[in-house]
Amino acid sequence: MKQAVVLMAYGSPERLADVPAYYSDIRGGRPIAPENLADLVERYRRLGIEDSSPLNAITERTRAALEHELGLPVFTGMKHWTPRIADAAGAAVAAGAGEIVGLVLAPHYSALSIAGYREQLESALAGLAELQFVESWHDEPGFVELLAGRVRGTDAHVVFTAHSLPARILAAGDPYRDQLLETSRLVADAAGLGAWSFSFQSESPTGEPWLGPDILEHLEALRRQGVERVLVCPVGFVSDHLEIRWDLDVEAREKAAELGLELERIEMPNADPEFVRTLASIVRRALRVPSAA
Ligand code: FEC
């Protein structure tokens, strides 16, 4: 039976004119305050998306490299922009795939995150191909080692981060926060880190409580504890995009400068060949193919 991969990512607008439709997709049609839309357009303007949209470009490089590594067709599907997850599923089926691995470029499961990717893929496939969906890969040894390699030997305090979610997920027994803390602990152990902590980032203005602490408050707390240097290691994202280049590289850096803290962040995995080999081993396991290594 022919096999294929649907590689999924969040998606990002290509043009400033796309931002209202993109934001509306993220909100699932719920109302958007005009000031929030204006603020988002301004962040994308400052990110320079009219010249190049980093998330979409990196996802395409990752797709091409994964396809080469696996020797299987890999199709990109975006959760909130084009090409949509349904487009990727349709292309895989049209190419004759009878078994499809669904892999999200986000390592941690949440009902408010990965489940949405799964629903889009399942409903597009509608039973036309067998689906092997990867729910999470937060403790994948290659991923842990890649991040450990980027923080090993630092004398800075390492702050692991991930996207926040509404705090109500905890009452529903969602594994998201536990998986994030597990990745952080595994990376810290593998790198032999002395001083590290975890904080959330990128909370949205939705009017309900979100998981904390947020990185901006966390930097204040670290400074009060006498920390002078911080190395930020995002574990919940794998690419350069708005949440990295704005929320960390602009907002967190500005806060650190105000506090007199030195702040650096690791290079994201993006389409690094070591990361692509890790994604390939996750796909091979889902297909029950013996590892090439
Ligand atoms: O570079 C880019 O253009 C896209 C960057 C981007 C990534 C990303 C990842 C995650 N999000 C997650 C959850 C939520 C929830 C809401 C929400 C809202 C936004 C908005 C933008 C945005 N997110 Fe996102 N997210 C990215 C971008 N996200 C833009 C809307 C404006 C704003 O709040 O700044 C709230 C939805 C609502 O209002 O109801 C919840 C999670 C991830 C990590 C997993 C993944 O990548 O899928 C979780 C990248």
Annotate 101-142 with DSSP letters as a single string. EEEES--S--TTTHHHHHHHHHHHHTTSSEEEE----TT-HH
Number of H helices, E strands in the chain: 12, 8
Q: Probe ligand 1: pick from 23, 202, 249, max atoms within 8 Å of CB? A: 202
> Which residues partner with 234 through β-bridges?
161
Closest CA to 81 of 56, 64, 105, 106: 56
Q: Could you read off the pLDDT of 98-111 as tens digits, one per residue?
A: 999 999 999 999 99
> Ligand 1: distance of its center to the CA of 271 in Å?
21
- Whether the CB-CB separation of 253 and 263 falls below 8 Å is answered with yes
Query: Rounded to two decimals, what is the model's pTM?
Result: 0.97
Written as six digits, the tokens of 70 are 């696996």
pLDDT at 53: 86
> Ligand 1: distance of its center to the CA of 54 in Å?
15
| Ligand 1 closest atom vs CA 114 | 47
Closest CA to 23 of 48, 51, 42, 2: 42
Low-confidence residues in the chain, pLDDT < 70 = 291-293
Nearest CA to ligand 1 atom 39: 27
| Ligand 1 closest atom vs CA 241 | 1
Q: Kindly report the CA angle at 36 between 34 and 37, in degrees rounded to 5?
A: 65
| Ligand 1 closest atom vs CA 239 | 49
